[in-house]
A and B are shown apart, each in its own frame.
Chain A
Amino acid sequence: MEHVIQLPMTKETASKLRAGDQVLLSGVIYSARDAAHERMAEQIEKGIPLPFDLMDAVIYYMGPSPAKPGQVIGSAGPTTAGRMDRWAPQMIALGARGMIGKGKRSREVAEAIREHQGVYLGAIGGAGALLSQHIIKSELIAYEDLGPEAIRKLTVKDFPAVVIIDCEGNDLYVIGRKNYLEQRK
């Protein structure tokens, strides 16, 4: 099934998505990866407000290459999401509804997605040139000293992704492989 989604990602929208569904996202998402997550977790612990509102937000695990003159952003594909598993359940509990990345997630993350009606989306790893064409605006909003790991507010248009883990606990990595092997028999 294909869904055209206008962000932010509400609970109602996220709860309709099922593993394997294609989505096209338009609106605002935020890039954050390892170092930014560590810093956000520190701020949460100290009670310092975060650089963006987590409620119904979609976090893109991504650190872009620099933009050439005239470009909005450089290449901008997903990084391995599992490295953010340590922080993801807390982010989800605080309102973050969606994550875009690639690769396996922990049981704790899948559980948090189920509990809070969130979603884990996959973008094509290694297709950074193609994906960058769907980012129409990029603004560095925090942690500039982290270079590629700084937090960017990105406006996307028809950003293509696929649902990997849905709020019922289905996982495309398990289903997709099983379906393929059964079809092959």
Chain B
Amino acid sequence: MREIDVSRITEAVKRMCISSNYHLPADIRQAIGTALAREDGSIARGILEQLVENEKMASEREIPICQDTGMACVFLEVGQDVHFTGGNLYDAVHEGVRLGYTEGYLRKSVERDPVRRGNTGDNTPAMITTDIVPGDRLKITVAPKGFGSENMGALKMLKPSAGLEGIKDFILETVEQAGPNPCPPIVVGVGIGGNFDHVALLAKKALLRPVTTRHPDPFYAALEEELLDRINALGIGPQGFGGRTTALGVNIETLPTHIAGMPCAVNISCHVTRHETEVI
């Protein structure tokens, strides 16, 4: 049994909330660079160049890349041999978000109640996902998620008879319908399998994987590449003004599913797809 004082978690979450909002992760920077080299639309090239300039300015001056500094999505992989001391685990995470968003001059974008509204004033609560894994470590990933792109996601309970074509069509339709709204170039997180609730989480988790990597299963790696090519043939382009670069990557995650179903969820993210990880 290894003891971890929860104050270390607060500190790590706070640091990553700030850092991830100022500095674009390496995989997205690399993907935008690659896209710029391949882009054949003239307006599109200009937009991509400005995105690079924006990201550099944010990093140098330590200001948010985008004013929507997101809901703080926090993923915890907790080793089963860890014992937390000094307070409650989730309280420590929320406190990290509160401190990070306040001290980092990040926008407070969370409403207390979904219907009656009312800003909580400190961007809490965090959206926390916990997995218990073997070992005695804690892996924390902070992924602030903006809602311009979040609003364009979709979930469909496809039936097995829809087949692989049904999955492809649903993903392409979702991206097509989103058009310029999610701030393309986008990252497309796809979940396939599981059930209603788990498939949505798979799609979100798919966005945590660097866009420069492919699924370890060659079947899904090929599907990721095919979908990326087909999305980038739609012509939507950066900001929706026309161009090749509609998406920077398509990441797929899967789970076994029921004999009667083939759930599919698409979680769209913008060109400011932020994620940072620390292991304690």
Q: Residue on A with the closest CB to B179?
A: A104
In whole Å, how far is B12's beta carbon from the nearest beta carbon of chain A? 22
In whole Å, how far is A5's beta carbon from the nearest beta carbon of chain B? 20
In whole Å, how far is B275's beta carbon from the nearest beta carbon of chain A? 16
Q: Are A125 and B270 in contact (CB under 8 A)?
A: yes
Note all chain A residues with C-beta closer than 8 A to B63.
65, 68, 71, 74-75, 129, 132
Known: A68-B63, A148-B108. A79 touches B235 (CB 8 A): no
Is B124 engaged at the interface, CB distance under 8 Å to the other chain? Answer: no
CB contact list, B96-154 vs A, under 8 A: 105-109, 117, 119, 121, 148, 151
Q: Are B69 and A65 in contact (CB under 8 A)?
A: yes
Q: Residue on A with the closest CB to B21?
A: A65
Q: Are B235 and A65 in contact (CB under 8 A)?
A: no
Interface 9-residue window, one of A6-14, A40-48, A89-97, A171-179: A171-179
Note all chain A residues with C-beta closer than 8 A to B58.
75, 129
In whole Å, how far is B149's beta carbon from the nearest beta carbon of chain A? 9
Known: A79-B148, A129-B64. A173 touches B41 (CB 8 A): no
CA distance in complex: A67, B61 (Å)? 12
Q: Produce 1/0 per residue, B26-55, CB < 8 A to A.
A: 000000000000001101100100110111
Q: Are B239 and A122 in contact (CB under 8 A)?
A: yes
Q: Are A75 and B183 in contact (CB under 8 A)?
A: no
Is B65 engaged at the interface, CB distance under 8 Å to the other chain? Answer: yes
Q: Are B54 and A130 in contact (CB under 8 A)?
A: yes
Residue among A65, A104, A146 making CB contact with B107, cutoff 8 Å:
A65
Q: Are B105 and A183 in contact (CB under 8 A)?
A: no
Residue among A63, A66, A75, A177 making CB contact with B235, cutoff 8 Å:
A177
Q: Residue on A with the closest CB to B64?
A: A75
In whole Å, how far is B246's beta carbon from the nearest beta carbon of chain A? 10
Residue among A82, A130, A172, A181 making CB contact with B57, cutoff 8 Å:
A130
Is B194 engaged at the interface, CB distance under 8 Å to the other chain? Answer: no
Known: A126-B271, A178-B242, A183-B41. A74 touches B64 (CB 8 A): yes
Known: A74-B63, A126-B66, A129-B64. A80 touches B107 (CB 8 A): no
Q: Produce 1/0 per residue, B167-196, CB < 8 A to A.
A: 000000000000111010000000000000
Q: Are B54 and A128 in contact (CB under 8 A)?
A: yes
Is B67 engaged at the interface, CB distance under 8 Å to the other chain? Answer: yes
Q: Are A103 and B121 in contact (CB under 8 A)?
A: no
CA distance in complex: A76, B65 (Å)? 10
Note all chain A residues with C-beta closer than 8 A to B237.
176-177, 180
The listed residue with most B CB atoms (<10 A of its CB), out of A67, A71, A77, is A77
Note all chain B residues with C-beta closer than 8 A to A184.
40, 235, 244
Is B236 engaged at the interface, CB distance under 8 Å to the other chain? Answer: yes
Note all chain A residues with C-beta closer than 8 A to B50.
124, 127, 130
A interface residues with partner B (beta carbon < 8 Å)? 35, 62-68, 71, 74-77, 79-80, 82, 102-104, 122, 124-130, 132-133, 146-149, 162, 172-173, 175-181, 183-184
Could you jot down 30 A-B contacts, CB within 8 Å? Answer: A35-B117, A65-B64, A65-B67, A65-B69, A66-B105, A74-B63, A75-B58, A77-B66, A77-B68, A79-B148, A102-B180, A122-B239, A125-B148, A126-B65, A126-B66, A126-B270, A129-B61, A130-B50, A147-B121, A148-B67, A148-B119, A149-B119, A173-B240, A173-B241, A178-B235, A180-B41, A180-B44, A180-B243, A181-B235, A183-B41
**When A and B form their complex, which 7 residue pairs have the shortest distance between CB atoms, in order from nearest?**
A180-B242, A176-B242, A125-B183, A103-B181, A75-B67, A129-B58, A128-B67
B interface residues with partner A (beta carbon < 8 Å)? 40-41, 43-44, 47, 50-51, 53-55, 57-58, 61, 63-69, 105-109, 117, 119, 121, 148, 151, 179-181, 183, 235-237, 239-244, 270-272
**Told that A124-B54, A127-B66, A183-B40 touch, could you supply 15 new A-B pairs with CB distance under 8 A?**
A63-B68, A63-B109, A64-B107, A65-B63, A65-B67, A66-B105, A68-B105, A74-B107, A124-B239, A126-B51, A127-B54, A130-B53, A130-B57, A173-B179, A180-B237
